[in-house]
Amino acid sequence: EAQVTQNPRYLITVTGKKLTVTCSQNMNHEYMSWYRQDPGLGLRQIYYSMNVEVTDKGDVPEGYKVSRKEKRNFPLILESPSPNQTSLYFCASIPRRGGLDNEQFFGPGTRLTVL
Amino acid sequence: QKEVEQNSGPLSVPEGAIASLNCTYSDRGSQSFFWYRQYSGKSPELIMSIYSNGDKEDGRFTAQLNKASQYVSLLIRDSQPSDSATYLCAVNGRGAGGTSYGKLTFGQGTILTVHP
C-alpha cells in the first residue's frame, strides 16, 4: 500500500531532551516536507527536501533540523525541544510529475507535547 | 497581510445548500492552488487543484481561480453532513533557495458544518 508513515504518533517529552520524529514513504517520491499545525494558524511548513541531500527552509524552521540521506526517509530532529514546539506535526511527500502538479501526500500526524 | 488568507469561519450551511469557501493570496507569482479537506484528528486530503483562471469542476466541487484578483474559491454543491470538516487553501510559493516546487503555504482553514 502506498503510504507515508510517521513515528511516533504521540509523544510527551520534557524541555531540552533531544528527539527525532521519523517519516518514511514507499512511493519513490523525490520531494518530502514537514509541517506543524496549530489552532488558528493552519499548517505551516518547517522544512522541505527536493532530493537526497537537498533541503530548504520553510516558513518556521527555527528550532528544527532535518536530514535526507535516503530518498524514502526524512526525519525531523528537535535538538532541544521547548514548550512552544508542542504541536501536531505532519510529514508529506510529493511525486515529481513535472509542470505545476505538486499534490502532497500526508502522513497520519505526530502529536508532540513538550512539558 | 498574511500570505494566504481564508474567509473567517466557522461556516454553517443546511444540508443540500451550496457552501462557498474563499481564499486570497499575496504572491502574484503563485501558479498552483489547492483545496484540502481535513477531518478532525486526521491528515489533510486533497480534493481540488487548479492552475488556470476560471472554473474547474469535479463532482459536487467547483474550484474558481482569478489570478488578477489573487483569489481562489471552492464551491460545494448539495452539501452533505459528511462534508463537515476544515477546508484548507494552499498556494505554492518560493522557498529560500528560489525554488517553488514543494513549497506550499496554507491558509488558516475554514471550519464547515453542514447540518441536517
Question: How confident is the model over B11-26, as pLDDT tens digits?
Answer: 999 999 999 999 999 9
Does A95 contact chain B (CB < 8 Å)?
Answer: no
Question: How confident is the model over B54-81, as pLDDT tens digits?
Answer: 999 999 999 999 999 999 999 999 999 9
Residue A73: φ, ψ to 5°:
-115, 140
Contact A42 B108 (CB under 8 A): yes
Percent of chain B residues topping a pLDDT of 90: 74
Find residues 50-69 of chain A whose CB sits inside 8 Å of chain B. Answer: 50, 56-59
Contact B108 A103 (CB under 8 A): no
Could you give the CA distance from residue B28 to residue B44 in angstroms, rounded to a whole number?
A: 25
CB B59 within 8 A of CB B49: no
For residue A96, the chain B residue with the least C-alpha distance is: B101
Measured between beta carbons, the chain A residues lying within 8 angstroms of B56 are: none
pLDDT range class, residue B93, cuts 50, 70, 90: low
